[in-house]
Structure 1
Amino acid sequence: MKCNSAQQQGRNCSAGLRRQVLRGSFGQRFLPQVPVLQWAGHLSQEEYLRLRRYPGAHGWGGVDFHTLQSTLSLLNSSANRMMLDDWDHRANGSSCIRCAVVGNGGILRGSKKGQEIDQHDYIFRTNGAVIKGFEEDVGSRTSLYTFSTNTLRNSLRSYASAGYHGPPISEETRYVFLPDHDRDYILLRAAATNSPIDRGPERSKSPPTYFGEHVTAQKFKMYHPDFIRYLRNRFLRAPALKTRYRDLYRPSTGAVMLLAALHTCDQVSAYGFMTPDFAKYSDHYYDRKFHSVGFYINHDLRMEMSLWQQLHKEGLIQLYMRQ
């Protein structure tokens, strides 16, 4: 497995995933040429004609060219092109990047894994990541926060009472959009230019404040739709794709985040993801009352759980499981 930026190609981690994956059953699933992130250099009329054939997170269908151009033109720096854009400043002589990918599963409640999580080089989180009050179990740092505009809004609505009031904000934190609609491009453009949201469900008279008052374009990244489609087709090709709901289905936001880490880090530890004993735990670690995991047609959580088990068995990730 190769990685998707000059920065990562230049690393030589002897214990890294790029060496391990070639020795196992996942070797032929990986396509090193698929970009993880999209940025200004990806947009052209030819690419637009190709990608507008695919709906939702899998392409640019339903997004007009002007919206794409005005948004992707802002993603024009190395910080936007690379997932781990500041590694040169963090490395301290190390050639291996250790990443913790933290889901929101109830298995983390009472785990006391917070300190272990925070000792990784990068910490990935997603959606309704409630940190305050749960640091002992989930850690306190956030390096990369993955979300879509829809999941962000749903999290604000559903988990406010649990303490979720928006994405983590820190000097370290970068924000990785999973574009599932034109509203994601519109929100990114407004946030990066400190401008009101000019149309759509989030239309506003003032700039969005989800990411702090002084956020700059260098803080934002956006998954490439080719990457999402590749994950769907090669890792999570669910039965739903053979039904009338095929256009609704995509890998969950947490699955995209974990598989992105697998493609950009050298060592990956996963916490708070579904394990075969998931029925023992509430849906989220911050639930005040027990809520069983919900299953919907837009994601195949059981298939994702099986994939995590396979990756763990082959040593490509270290998956946290209760003993």
Structure 2
Amino acid sequence: MGLHRRLLFAVLTVSCVLIVYILALTLERPLVPLYDLIQRASGVSSEEPLHGPSNDAHLTFLPPVPSSHPDRDVGNLYLMHHKVQKPLLANETSKSRSDDANNKTRIDTKRPTVKPAQPAKPTDPSFIGDSYMSADVPPQTGCPDSIRSRVGKTEFGARFLESIPVLQWARHVTPEQHWRLSHYPGAHGWGGIDYNTLVETLSVLNSPANWQMLDNWKAAGNKSECSRCAVVGNGGILKNSQKGKEIDSHHYVFRTNGAIIKGFEEDVGSRTTHYTFSTNTLMNSMLSYAGDGYRGPPVSKETRYVFLPDHDRDYLLMKAVATHTLVDRGREKGKNPVKYFGEDVSAEKLKMYHPDFIRYLRNRFLRSTTLKSKFKNIYRPSTGATMLLAALHTCDQVSAYGFMTPDYKKYSDHYYDKNYHPVGFYANHDLRMEMNLWQQLHKAGLIRLYMHN
């Protein structure tokens, strides 16, 4: 009788499970496998937890790539985190491949020995995106001794892209480019900026002057075959340097952020042809250095304003500057750009770095270990570094002044500091890496870096 009761109980249990399962199907409720239900009812535990980690938990699935996507040939961008199987050899069976995957060498006297598959090399994470738009921007000079003609013979030859667009303008805004660049946040792409805002703001950059850094080279009637650019940082090394006349003697003079000129002309010069900034660094400079005499960007007939687009704030301010209207929305809503750039500024005087260029500088010249830390999303080349490397890509000859050198502790943070202030280091820039890069470029003969003897 005991055996009959146990069999009857088992039959009833399975019947109940089947009824519950049929009801669940009828109600379209999420199901667990029938086999697991039976195991649970019979008190048998599964070898794996029902909702435990699967073998695919480490995979990151990215959006499908359109066939026309510019990054379509960059395999590591879309295969990241996936194991790449090596191709099956003509004389290799599928079993030998399986053995290889288990790091075992298959030895067969009838076939050549197949080496174990090597672990796949680490691939770049998705936010790197080392693939860029190509722009056909012919050189503006016929300089026989330009940086472009020499860079291939240096250690930087493999990194340097002559066709990288340094500046963006109206014709760069297309749905395809927006889709591509929306994957990269901050200064490295158009992530978080909707397409309509880009069209609305970048449409004002619609003249050749907007995509040529040295837009007035021919009009200026320069007799020299080579364009010479002075790139001036704000480092304390310039204090009492007496380099002002030398700086002003260049065809073009680049400055950035809190560039205070009045009262320091003998050391830093007086001209500014290109002023690089982001809306954030501009506003912060006006707050932080007001006591030292900084009132805003340099204003002159020859000054061009080069925006570094860190947020949508930069696009909105740039549009307001070009149209002589108040900023219509965002953090600077209601502000009058005339206050910063003067009455005479025109759209032809405005330029904006291309996000591909910023990402390219980060990936190929300033690939900091910060990219492996929790600060990777805010890291970018400093505004001064972007300015200097932009000159490297657009000028024939570049001299750099006021940039950090290995003896930086001898000098205050800025040349206009009334008292000594040590250089500050922050997570969003790698200033030591930038300092080492300037030394390498100087040693390679690509820039002439001002250093104290």
Q: TM-score range by the shorter chain?
A: over 0.9
The aligned runs of 1:57-68 (5 Å cut-off) are 57-68=187-198
Is 1:95 aligned with 2:215? no
Whether the 8 Å contact between 1:74 and 1:217 is mirrored in structure 2 is yes
Aligned-pair CA distance for 1:311: 0.3
Amino acid at match of 1:247: N
- Give the number of aligned pairs: 320
Q: Distance in 2 between matches of 1:4 and 1:318?
A: 27
Counterpart of 1:168?
A: 298
| Cα deviation digits, residues 107-135 of structure 1 (max 9, x gap) | 00000000000000000000000000000
One of 330, 342, 345 as aligned partner of 1:212: 342
SS of 2:219 mapped into structure 1: helix
Counterpart of 2:160?
A: 30
Q: Residues 101, 110 of structure 1: CA spacing in aligned structure 2 closer, same or farther, 3 A cutoff?
A: same
The aligned runs of 1:306-317 (5 Å cut-off) are 306-317=436-447
Amino acid at match of 2:200: S
Q: Which runs of 5+ in 1 are unaligned?
A: none
The aligned runs of 1:72-87 (5 Å cut-off) are 72-87=202-217
Counterpart of 1:156?
A: 286
The aligned runs of 1:227-246 (5 Å cut-off) are 227-246=357-376
Is 1:247 aligned with 2:345? no
Counterpart of 1:320?
A: 450
Counterpart of 2:245?
A: 115
Whether the 8 Å contact between 1:143 and 1:172 is mirrored in structure 2 is yes
Amino acid at match of 2:222: N
Amino acid at match of 1:200: G
Whether the 8 Å contact between 1:240 and 1:297 is mirrored in structure 2 is yes
Is 1:145 aligned with 2:275? yes
One of 237, 262, 265 as aligned partner of 1:135: 265
When structure 1 is superposed on structure 2, of 121-130 and 190-199 the one drifting more is 190-199
Counterpart of 1:267?
A: 397
Counterpart of 2:254?
A: 124
The aligned runs of 1:185-224 (5 Å cut-off) are 185-204=315-334, 206-224=336-354
| Cα deviation digits, residues 257-291 of structure 1 (max 9, x gap) | 00000000000000000000000000000111111
Counterpart of 1:300?
A: 430
Is 1:19 aligned with 2:135? no
Q: Distance in 1 between matches of 2:364 and 2:272?
A: 29
When structure 1 is superposed on structure 2, of 14-23 and 156-165 the one drifting more is 14-23
Whether the 8 Å contact between 1:81 and 1:221 is mirrored in structure 2 is yes
Whether the 8 Å contact between 1:197 and 1:208 is mirrored in structure 2 is no
Aligned-pair CA distance for 1:214: 2.1
Q: Distance in 1 between matches of 2:383 and 2:368?
A: 15
Aligned-pair CA distance for 1:205: 5.9
Aligned-pair CA distance for 1:208: 4.3
Amino acid at match of 1:142: T
Counterpart of 2:308?
A: 178
| Cα deviation digits, residues 219-250 of structure 1 (max 9, x gap) | 10000000000000000000000011101100
Q: Distance in 2 between matches of 1:205 and 1:106?
A: 32
Q: Distance in 2 between matches of 1:299 and 1:230?
A: 15
Counterpart of 2:126?
A: none
Q: Which runs of 5+ in 2 are unaligned?
A: 1-133
| Cα deviation digits, residues 146-166 of structure 1 (max 9, x gap) | 000000000000001111100
Q: Distance in 1 between matches of 2:346 and 2:328?
A: 19
Whether the 8 Å contact between 1:5 and 1:81 is mirrored in structure 2 is no
SS of 2:341 mapped into structure 1: coil
Whether the 8 Å contact between 2:316 and 2:327 is mirrored in structure 1 is yes
Q: Residues 299, 205 of structure 1: CA spacing in aligned structure 2 closer, same or farther, 3 A cutoff?
A: closer
SS of 1:210 mapped into structure 2: helix
One of 334, 356, 360 as aligned partner of 1:226: 356
When Rg is computed on C-alpha atoms for both structures, the one with the higher figure is 2
Q: Residues 10, 280 of structure 1: CA spacing in aligned structure 2 closer, same or farther, 3 A cutoff?
A: closer
Whether the 8 Å contact between 1:35 and 1:226 is mirrored in structure 2 is yes
Q: Residues 287, 4 of structure 1: CA spacing in aligned structure 2 closer, same or farther, 3 A cutoff?
A: farther
Q: Residues 51, 4 of structure 1: CA spacing in aligned structure 2 closer, same or farther, 3 A cutoff?
A: closer
Aligned-pair CA distance for 1:93: 2.7
Q: Residues 207, 101 of structure 1: CA spacing in aligned structure 2 closer, same or farther, 3 A cutoff?
A: closer
TM-score under structure 1 length normalisation: 0.97
Aligned-pair CA distance for 1:209: 2.1
Whether the 8 Å contact between 2:232 and 2:268 is mirrored in structure 1 is yes
When structure 1 is superposed on structure 2, of 205-214 and 279-288 the one drifting more is 205-214
Q: Distance in 2 between matches of 1:42 and 1:282?
A: 41
One of 180, 184, 188 as aligned partner of 1:54: 184
One of 271, 279, 286 as aligned partner of 2:409: 279
| Cα deviation digits, residues 274-317 of structure 1 (max 9, x gap) | 00000000000011111100001100000000000000001100
Q: Distance in 2 between matches of 1:175 and 1:320?
A: 25
